[in-house]
Structure 1
Amino acid sequence: MLEKIIAPIAAWIIAVISAGGYLGIVLLMAIESACVPLPSEIIMPFAGYLVSTGRFELLAVATAGAIGCNLGSIPAYEVGKRFGRPVVERYGKYLLMSVHELDRAERFFLRWGSITVLVCRMLPAVRSFIAFPAGVARMPLAKFHLYTFVGSWPWCFGLAWVGMKLGAAWHTDSRLSRILHSMDALIGVVVIAGVSWFIWHKLKKRTR
């Protein structure tokens, strides 16, 4: 089940990385950081797998991923800075972002300051969307890029390292393949249920 869900995305990611090398990683992670839900949890492990084959270097892969995060964050940051609240008020229902959530993000920035970006860049899901509220909060651009890079690098490194280790073990330890295939159906159900609940929850809030 899981294979059918992610296979088209995974195939495209593999093709981009295979054709573009490090620049392909930069491109994919830039898309992921531009408020587009292209999961880094697929991108970076595949890049890490290519580290296990000798094509890439682990530190360079992590750095390419972090650079991509910075580049992709620019448009989301600028939209938030220039048009932030009106965009959410008018198009939030299409973006699955409410004014209440924007208010909460702004309060978080007011309380914790710029460190919000650094911390959120190391968290799944929210990391892809943090640039927008950072722009709304008018976080200084230089600090925004510094914290984006510093927060993104360990995230990219960790995922690539996992991919590298799995790649090295895949063909040498048959137990790994059996375990992953036995978990396939369960993971697929969890993914579908989680996404369905998230969308239902958002749409329900729009009707209140």
Structure 2
Amino acid sequence: MMLHLAQTTGEPAGGLAGWAVDMIDALGGAGLALLTALDSMLFGALPVDVLMPLVGYTATQGAIDIGTAIVCATVGSVLGSLVQYALCAHLGPDRARALLLKFPGVKTETVDRCEAWFARHGAKAVLFGRVLPVIRPLISIPAGAERMPLPKFVMLTTLGTLAWTSALLLSGYVLGENWHRVTDIAGTFSYVALGALAVGVVLLVVKRRNRRRKEAANELGENARTDVK
């Protein structure tokens, strides 16, 4: 059984965060899995990114095994993502988008960005989107609406989610009483990752253009040789 998180850390419990803390406190690893599942289904509406470093810190106090926490958080998040995927696969792109925009806090430009990200990168969007703050809660929507092959979706979602939950939980575990600094570190990392991916996209576009120009030049050369013959 977990120690009381609020007592272990000295953090006050109240509101949505307090409810989440109570759930983990009462159910342990199962509570963490349920919380991450709900967070995935509700488009990142719960304070999971803040609570997981806290849980990582409590693991240093014997509240929960850090390995168990990583597994439970990952499994819960993947299951929640599968619910999103199945719902949107059933609804299709247009109805899935209309449903998504009805949720409080979900903006049209955010949905547009997520859909464009998936349209441009496909499978890579699902994998790397799990570490980006804007894309992560929504990437299952276009993947499901476009009916991405389910085994591929599960594999990429699991890998990306495992990387992100491990980073949050282990950061809290390593930082100890300074676990609350993880939020700032994670935000910085997310923007660095987003910048790196943007640079990668530019390089990829340049590489493809150069390849097309080379192919066009080769084709013109072959046509010229044919005409000479």
Aligned partner of 2:118 in structure 1 is 109
1:117/1:134 contact within 8 Å kept: yes
> 1:53, CA displacement in angstroms?
0.8
Aligned partner of 2:132 in structure 1 is 123
TM-score, L = length of structure 2? 0.64
> 1:107, CA displacement in angstroms?
4.5
Give deviations 1:138-175, integer Å, cap 9, x for gaps: 11111111111100112111111222234x335xxxxx
Aligned partner of 1:38 in structure 2 is 46
**Pairing of 1:1-208 with structure 2 (within 5 A):** 7-34=14-41, 35-88=43-96, 90-95=98-103, 96-98=106-108, 105-166=114-175, 168-169=176-177
| Structure 2: distance between partners of 1:156 and 1:92 | 24
| Structure 2: distance between partners of 1:101 and 1:169 | 34
> 1:75, CA displacement in angstroms?
1.8
Secondary structure at the aligned position of 1:138 is classed as coil
TM-score, L = length of structure 1? 0.69
Which structure has the higher relative contact order (CA within 8 Å, separation 6+)?
A: 1
Measured at CA, do residues 118 and 24 of structure 1 come closer, stay the same or move farther in structure 2, by a change above 3 Å?
same
Measured at CA, do residues 101 and 15 of structure 1 come closer, stay the same or move farther in structure 2, by a change above 3 Å?
closer
Structure with the greater alpha carbon radius of gyration: 2
2:56/2:173 contact within 8 Å kept: yes
Secondary structure at the aligned position of 1:121 is classed as helix
| Structure 2: distance between partners of 1:91 and 1:106 | 14
| Counterpart amino acid of residue 18 in structure 1 | D
Q: Single out whichever of 152-161 and 101-110 deviates more from structure 2.
A: 101-110
| Counterpart amino acid of residue 48 in structure 1 | G
Measured at CA, do residues 137 and 11 of structure 1 come closer, stay the same or move farther in structure 2, by a change above 3 Å?
same
> 1:81, CA displacement in angstroms?
1.1
| Counterpart amino acid of residue 167 in structure 2 | G
| Counterpart amino acid of residue 139 in structure 1 | M
| Structure 2: distance between partners of 1:8 and 1:89 | 29
Gaps in structure 2 of 5+ consecutive residues: 1-10, 185-229
Aligned pairs, how many?
169
Gaps in structure 1 of 5+ consecutive residues: 171-175, 181-186, 188-208
| Structure 2: distance between partners of 1:169 and 1:102 | 37
Measured at CA, do residues 132 and 97 of structure 1 come closer, stay the same or move farther in structure 2, by a change above 3 Å?
farther
> 1:124, CA displacement in angstroms?
1.9
| Structure 1: distance between partners of 2:177 and 2:152 | 39
> 1:128, CA displacement in angstroms?
1.3
Give deviations 1:79-105, integer Å, cap 9, x for gaps: 21111333256445423353x765654
Secondary structure at the aligned position of 1:124 is classed as coil
Give me the identity figure in percent: 31
| Structure 2: distance between partners of 1:89 and 1:152 | 23
Give deviations 1:36-59, integer Å, cap 9, x for gaps: 511321231122122111122222
